[in-house]
Amino acid sequence: MKVISLINMKGGVGKTTLSTNICDCLSRRNNKKVLLIDIDPQFNATQCLFTGEEYIKHLTENKDTIVSVFEEKRNVVRSVEGLSKKKGKELKEINPIQVKDNFYILPGHLELYRIEMAAGSGKENRLRRYIQEITTKINFDFIIIDTPPTPSIWMTSALIASDYYLIPVKPDPISYTGIDLLKTIIDDKKEDFNLKIKCIGLVFTMVEREDSIVYKSALSKIESEDWKKYKYRKYLPKRTDIAKFQLNKSFILDTNDTSICMALVGVVDELIKRIEDDEKK
Ligand SMILES: Nc1ncnc2c1ncn2[C@@H]1O[C@H](COP(=O)(O)OP(=O)(O)OP(=O)(O)O)[C@@H](O)[C@H]1O
Ligand SMILES: [Mg+2]
């Protein structure tokens, strides 16, 4: 079982699109059992897998979300019998939802914004511990974490819980120049928390044209530096249908667009191959 976080501090680079579609592809094409964890308070990945009504029903029925992992376990509540302690959930009681064959999600929640978490409080370790618990019950092959675009406590929790991180990059100068800073921040966290997490690659997303000046200059920046060895052969092209159908539980493999399906399959195959190669080291 491998845990992979999709990370980039730049917003809107395709983290959510890539994480949901990697999960879909791994589960339906590669027949892997996959859990998607949505740790972004914007909960966009969750919105790709639930309709508005389904999500409200999920919350009204008190089903679990990422908040269950982080919220305080002891809340004193006033009842008719007087004060009593409402016991919060133990990590092992938190259940992800199966959305398709082999595809599970621990949904996100806006309430993450309200949970106070001081750095160093120890809560950063809760996601890692949750993953240890859930994998004793369900035999996942991959856990993919969709992270928010800010270096927050949520990003730190994801890094602590992961074996690898994958960087989606949009070929515009602001997006790709930020990856050096991202690496520095991750390296600092590795040192602070004594982590073994490794970069498992860099995938270009939303590429409009291979011969465009922006894509060419993004490529030359990546290929002239240490990043070269991380760059995936395939990239995700820009297609309006991806954005259009995303909230209708539609995935790249559902489209009739062979080139983007092949691109996604290529990215997923390279991800698996890189992990296999890393394990042999
Ligand atoms: N290959 C693509 N072609 C066209 N549109 C895309 C593609 N990939 C992503 N998008 C669209 O671009 C927008 C940003 O993508 P996405 O939400 O995946 O980025 P993100 O990095 O997760 O953003 P955030 O930082 O806000 O979490 C979305 O509206 C999405 O539908
Ligand atoms: Mg996102």
Q: What is the pLDDT of residues 170-198, one digit of tens each?
A: 998 888 888 999 999 999 999 999 999 99
For 279, residues 6+ apart whose C-beta sits below 8 A from its C-beta are none
Residue-level pLDDT at 88: 63
Residues of the chain with pLDDT under 50: 76-77, 84-86
Q: First CA to last CA across the chain, in angstroms?
A: 17
Which atom of ligand 1 is nearest the CA belonging to 19? 18
Dist CA 260 CA 255 (whole Å): 8
Give the 3-state secondary structure of residue 37. strand
Residue-level pLDDT at 223: 87
% of the chain at pLDDT higher than 70: 93
Which residues approach ligand 1 with their CB closer than 6 A? 11-17, 40, 42, 44, 149, 205-206, 236, 238-239, 242-243, 246
Write the pLDDT tens digit of every residue in 16-27: 999 999 999 999
Which structural domains are found in the chain, ordered by start?
A: 2-280 (3.40.50.300)
Residue-level pLDDT at 100: 94
Residue-level pLDDT at 86: 47
Residue located nearest, by CA, to atom 16 of ligand 1: 14
Structural tokens at position 104: 């599970």
Cα torsion 115, 168, 216, 212: sign: negative
For 136, residues 6+ apart whose C-beta sits below 8 A from its C-beta are 92
Pairing of strands 164-169, 198-204: parallel
* Protein residues within 5 Å, CB atom, of ion ligand 2: 15-16, 44
Which atom of ligand 1 is nearest the CA belonging to 243? 31
